[in-house]
Amino acid sequence: MNFAFFLMSFGTLAAVPPEFIGGTTVLASSAAFMLVAARQFMVKDQPQTIIAGLIDYRALAPLTIFTIIAVVGAFTLPRAFGENVMVFPMRGAEEGSFAVPLAPSSSNFNQSINLIANLMVAGAIFGMSRISGFTSKIKDALIWGGVGVVLTGFADLIGSNIGLTPVLEIFRTASYKMMDDAEINGVRRVIGMMSEASSFGALAVTIGGALLFSRYAYSRTKRFLVVYPLATMCLLFVVISTSSSAYGALGVLGLMHIVDLAWRAIFTSPDQRGEVILEIIGAVIFAVLVLAVVLGWEAGRDQAKAFLDEIILNKQLSGSARERNSWTAQGLEAFKATYGIGVGVGSVRTSNFFVNILASTGIVGAIIFAGTIGRTFAARIPSRYRAAFELSHGMKLTIVGTFVSLFFAGTTPDYGFNIATAIGICIGLATRTVASQFNFESKATPEIQETEPVKIRRKVERL
């Protein structure tokens, strides 16, 4: 699990050379997550647990139904609507820069595989939640994810400036187009080991946000020595990624953090309130220092203003922005042209994840996916199980930040392993059957509300 989270930062490292498998890229991180899922199916009683979760309407059944609809639609809808619908295809930029008639393609297969893999990972995490020490494993994995972001960020930032680019190319073996030389106002954009700055910024804000919002799941010592520094560095890399979509997510995370601090200052336990107040004081001091620098350093202020104008205001007027907006507009037109049924996953490219879900899977798929997210946020854990409660709380807020990035730059219906993992964590923890399954300090094991379908699980076990 730790290795899979660490490899998330290597978004251009292929597990198998693309030329060996017809140009298709299988990322090392994808292979690692699938190995995690496969291993769970080899553990005694885990297949029954996972299958029970995948077919339980109170657990992962909505996500299962969404995946089935998406996969079936991928192979039927392009043929059903044929050339009556125009779309921007999911191919290379040179082929997908103009609208073409809807037709089946290899992208339908690739995106279907991605969604099935996401479902398998969510199911595996759900099954792992029944194993003793689950929360400790997830907490360690988040730390390794943060280490991966920081290491790859520094490697790209420093290596590109001291002539180590050939060394970095060893980890850039995917068949994607690399945007490793993009600049804004003469400043090179940091991309880590991802294909572009927006991908690196989105990952950094996701991992940094997960660590920040889950911080109270860790011991006080680990929180101050590991979690705070890692989260801070991840969020700093969001800033130097110069990704406007990541900046939007960072702004939303900042607002959620303020609300979270206020809520904790009022309603949390007295022993935690003191630390929360220190966090608030630290945040105020940091804000005052930043404001003082901005107001007192005229040259820096002018440079920062020009920088923000370039990545936010001027970007909206650029040819790239107009092209991306046309993708989204055409996706909505395709949705209307199919009477709300959709064109199938992998058939359409957009610049907005939610529009892609709507255009690809139709109104039914979009509603079911929304129901999955709603079920995730409705998953409740008694606050007395501190580690599980804090971990679930952090995952929910992290999903919001990730969705902000996808809102601005989501070109496919693939919600990714990070959201799949978060869904599995939240629903898995909320549907545990006894308190002894929680990684909790107390040895007491009182019964809590049972939400796992025991009857369904027994039927599966008999199959």
Residue predicted with more confidence, 451 or 369: 369
- Name the more confident of 10 and 314: 10
Q: How deeply is 414 buried, as exposed, middle or buried, from its count of CB atoms within 10 A (0-12, 13-18, 19+)?
A: buried
Lowest pLDDT segment from 92-96, 329-333, 362-366: 92-96
| Closest CA relative to residue 451, chosen from 390, 383, 395, 378 | 378
| DSSP secondary structure code for residue 87 in this structure | E
Question: β-pairing, 86-87 with 187-188?
Answer: unpaired
- Residue 24 contacts residue 173 (beta carbons within 8 Å): no
Question: Six-digit token pair at 275?
Answer: 């630390």
Residue ranges per structural domain of the chain: 2-462
Q: How many CB atoms lie within 10 A of CB 281?
A: 10
Q: Given phi > 0 = left and psi -120 to 50 = alpha, else beta, which region is 318?
A: beta
- pLDDT bucket at 92, cuts 50 / 70 / 90: low
Residue 443's Cβ-side half-sphere holds a number of Cα atoms within 13 Å equal to 0
Q: Alpha-carbon torsion 142, 146, 149, 151, what sign?
A: negative
Nearest to 216 by CA among 268, 252, 176: 268
Per-residue pLDDT, 181: 62
pLDDT at 430 over 70: yes
121 against 449, higher pLDDT: 121
**4 has a pLDDT exceeding 70:** yes
Give the per-residue pLDDT at 241: 85
Report which secondary-structure segment, H or E, holds 100: strand 100-101
Burial of 254 (0-12, 13-18, 19+ CB in 10 A): middle
The pLDDT of residue 16 is 83
Given this model, what pLDDT does residue 52 score? 92
Q: Of 44-58, 217-231, 426-440, 442-456, give the lowest mean pLDDT range.
A: 442-456
- Residue ranges in 164-269 assigned as alpha helix (H): 165-168, 197-213, 220-222, 228-241, 244-267
For 272-281, write each residue's pLDDT tens digit. 788 888 888 8
Among 86-95, 131-140, 360-369, 408-417, whose mean pLDDT is lowest? 86-95
Q: How far apart are CA 260 and CA 280, in angstroms?
A: 11
The three-class DSSP label of residue 452 is coil
Residue 131's φ and ψ, nearest 5 degrees, are: -95, 140
Looking at the predicted structure, is the pLDDT value of residue 185 above 70? Answer: no
Residue 5 neighbours by CB distance under 10 Å: 28
Token pair 């885990």 in the structure block, residue: 46
Name residue, tokens 């039914």: 364
Determine the pLDDT at residue 184. 64
Place of tokens 């920062």: 304
What confidence tens digit (pLDDT) does each residue in 190-213 have?
888 988 888 899 999 999 999 999
Q: What is the pLDDT at residue 313? A: 63
pLDDT for the residue numbered 239: 87
How do 100-101 and 183-184 pair as beta strands? unpaired
Least confident of 46-55, 197-206, 406-415, 427-436: 427-436
Average pLDDT for 21-41: 87
pLDDT at 93 over 50: no
Using DSSP's 3-state secondary structure scheme, residue 295 falls into helix
More confident residue, 282 or 31: 31
What integer pLDDT is reported at residue 449 of this predicted model? 35
Q: How far apart are the first and last CA of the chain?
A: 30
Average pLDDT, the chain: 84
Other Cβ atoms less than 10 A from the Cβ of 353: the count is 22
Q: How far apart are CA 320 and CA 123, in angstroms?
A: 38
If pLDDT is split at 50, 70 and 90, which confidence band does 290 have? confident
What is the rounded average pLDDT of the residues 372-395? 91
User: Could you write out the DSSP letters of every residue in 134-192?
Assistant: HHHHHHHHHHHHHHHHHHHHHHHHHHTTTT-HHHHGGG--SSSPP-TT-EETTEEPP-T
pTM of the model: 0.86
- Among 184, 199, 188, which Cα is nearest to 165's? 188
Express each pLDDT in 56-87 by its tens digit: 998 999 999 999 999 999 999 999 998 789 99
